[in-house]
Amino acid sequence: MKKILVLLILFFTIFNLSACSSKQTYELKASFNNKLVEQAEIIPKSDSLDIEIPLAGISCNVDSFKTLLERKQDTFIVTLVGDETEERCSRNFTATISPISIGEYWLKVIYEKNGENTELLSERFVIK
């Protein structure tokens, strides 16, 4: 009986360790600039995704913005959160997410303003 209990404990320990080590981590490089862009564009590459989105009417204090990345199943969610200002500005948001494995995914970009979320982009993409 003790052997079975020890084997069960050993099995669950190994299972939990392998589950923890299999979590994928991603790198997100993001910035704002004044480049004139007319429409949003996402560019899938062999192991990454480039994002370029023109933003009108956002906070002028873009230096305060944090760009958060979360993955839920096959969806990458990029959330922009920062200090709001009365004055509104237009900026170009660019970002790169890497590494991304081959497959089909969704990208959602969300702007959080005063506790409310506005979805700026929702688009499917494929990494080949």
Which of the 8 DSSP states describes residue 2?
H
Three-state DSSP state, 35: coil
54/115 Cα distance (integer angstroms) = 22
Token pair 């993955």 is found at 71
* pLDDT tens readout for residues 21-74: 456 899 999 999 988 888 999 999 999 999 999 998 889 998 999 999 999 999
pTM of the model: 0.79
